[in-house]
Amino acid sequence: MHYENIKDSSPSDFKRLTGVRKETFELMVRTLREHLRDFGRPPKNTLEDRLLMTLMYWREYRTQFHIAQSYGVKECTVSRTVRKVEDALMRSKLFHLPGKKALRPNKPSEGPLDLQFILVDATECPVERPKQTENSPPATAARRSVTRSKRR
């Protein structure tokens, strides 16, 4: 998905494709123009496409290999692009989530905060394994005393 293909889409379709509103995307592009410094050979993809690469990586959990195949670049280029875009957006301080202390009210009497965002913890959880006790049957199919031994 290149920016040229989606720039004329409706605002709702644009948000469904990228995960951000068109105004937020344009603000990100302006911020990247100010904070992103390119040295050496000019990049193959436009700034908008590099931002789309990063949004794909964040939103769709696509592997860097698949993104590289979509944009005709190497996997290491995608990795470097995502890192540079993330760093530039963080340096701008426009796209930070508030810290842990900002989520708590200063005084208990103030009551709960009116939050405008939701964070989802999608980390893997350990699987509970059944515990073996003295009375529980063994994990093997048969007890050793029941199995035949080879005698000649």
Domain residue ranges in the chain: 3-92
Q: How far apart are CA 134 and CA 17, in angstroms?
A: 56
- Given this model, what pLDDT does residue 147 score? 60
pLDDT of residue 91: 87
Q: Hunting for tokens 């700034």 — which residue is that?
A: 47
Residue 4 has pLDDT above 60, yes or no: yes
Residue with tokens 């031994």: 149
Q: What is the pLDDT of residue 95?
A: 79
pLDDT in tens, 9-45: 999 999 998 889 999 999 999 999 888 877 778 888 8
Dihedral sign, Cα of residue 97, residue 98, residue 104, residue 109 = negative
The pLDDT, as a whole number, for residue 129 is: 72
Q: Are 22 and 11 in contact (CB under 8 A)?
A: yes
Describe the crossing of helices 47-60 and 22-35 by its angle, rounded to 10 degrees: 120
**Interval 82-126: pLDDT, tens:** 999 988 988 888 877 666 666 566 665 666 666 666 667 666 666
Q: pTM for this one?
A: 0.63
Which of 77 and 124 is assigned the larger pLDDT? 77
Residue 52: count other Cβ atoms within 10 Å of its Cβ: 24
- Residue 41: the pLDDT is 81
